[in-house]
């Protein structure tokens, strides 16, 4: 089942309805103060929420004492897109939360960095079926941040908790 913006159903506020359009989400996230200050931007997002690119530019105020990207900025870049893409594809009946995350740093990040995120419709459909069957599911997403030369700067793993709206997880 493919989720279109109309299938997302009514949101709680006009702002929520406005947010669930990829181009608008991209603009809003790029203006969000913590990400704006960290040099993190969503530079591209597909109209059907299947792929996107996050970029990070290392500025003097976002660098650590070695002139490389601050680890918190790298981590925040990995945390903003996949969950939103998943929530938008699954639709209003589902909630998506970050349950756990970790990051490994491999090389100093300097200059322009980026990461590509993808979520196929088939993957979203599988997650939807699993969640409908079990009430909740945990989804593991891995992403790599690379520099302009293609060198992996960091890799992050996020465990996303997906549940049907109104359900409580056993840990809650």
Q: Which pLDDT score, from 0 to 100, does residue 165 have?
A: 85
CATH number for 136: 3.10.129.10
Measured between alpha carbons, how far apart are the two ends of the chain, in Å? 29
Instruction: Give a yes or no: residue 171 inside a domain.
Output: no
Q: What is the residue-averaged pLDDT of the chain?
A: 89
CA 150 to chain centre: 21
Instruction: Give a yes or no: residue 172 inside a domain.
Output: no
Instruction: Give a yes or no: residue 170 inside a domain.
Output: no
**Number of domains observed in the structure of the chain:** 1
Instruction: Give a yes or no: residue 110 inside a domain.
Output: yes
Exposed / middle / buried, residue 103 (Cβ in 10 Å: 0-12, 13-18, 19+): middle
Number of helices and strands (H, E) in the chain? 6, 6
Q: Check if the beta carbon of residue 84 is closer than 8 Å to that of residue 28.
A: no
Mean pLDDT throughout 76-97? 93
| Cα 133 to Cα 131: distance, rounded to the nearest angstrom | 5
Question: Model confidence over 24-59: pLDDT tens digits?
Answer: 899 888 889 999 999 999 999 999 999 999 999 999
| Cα 145 to Cα 102: distance, rounded to the nearest angstrom | 13
Q: Which pLDDT score, from 0 to 100, does residue 103 have?
A: 97
Instruction: Give a yes or no: residue 75 inside a domain.
Output: yes
Instruction: Give a yes or no: residue 66 inside a domain.
Output: yes
pLDDT at 97 exceeding the cut of 50: yes
Residue-number span of the structural domain to which 54 is assigned: 5-164
Quote the crossing angle between the two packed helices 82-90 and 121-134, to the nearest 10°. Answer: 70
Instruction: Give a yes or no: residue 115 inside a domain.
Output: yes
Instruction: Give a yes or no: residue 24 inside a domain.
Output: yes
């Amino acid at each position: 089942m493919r989720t279109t913006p109309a299938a997302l159903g009514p949101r709680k506020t006009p702002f929520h309805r406005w947010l669930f359009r990829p181009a608008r989400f991209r603009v809003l996230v790029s203006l969000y103060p913590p990400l704006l200050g960290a040099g993190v931007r969503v530079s591209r997002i597909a109209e059907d929420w299947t792929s996107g690119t996050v970029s990070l530019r290392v500025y003097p105020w976002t660098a650590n004492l070695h002139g490389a990207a601050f680890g918190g900025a790298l981590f925040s870049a990995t945390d903003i897109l996949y969950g939103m893409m998943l929530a938008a594809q699954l639709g209003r009946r589902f909630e998506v939360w970050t349950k756990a995350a970790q990051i490994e740093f491999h090389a100093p990040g300097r200059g322009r960095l980026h990461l590509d995120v993808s979520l196929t419709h088939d993957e979203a459909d599988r997650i939807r079926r699993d969640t409908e069957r079990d009430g909740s599911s945990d989804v593991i997403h891995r992403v790599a941040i690379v520099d302009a030369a293609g060198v992996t700067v960091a890799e992050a793993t996020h465990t996303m908790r997906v549940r049907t709206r109104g359900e409580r997880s056993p840990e809650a």
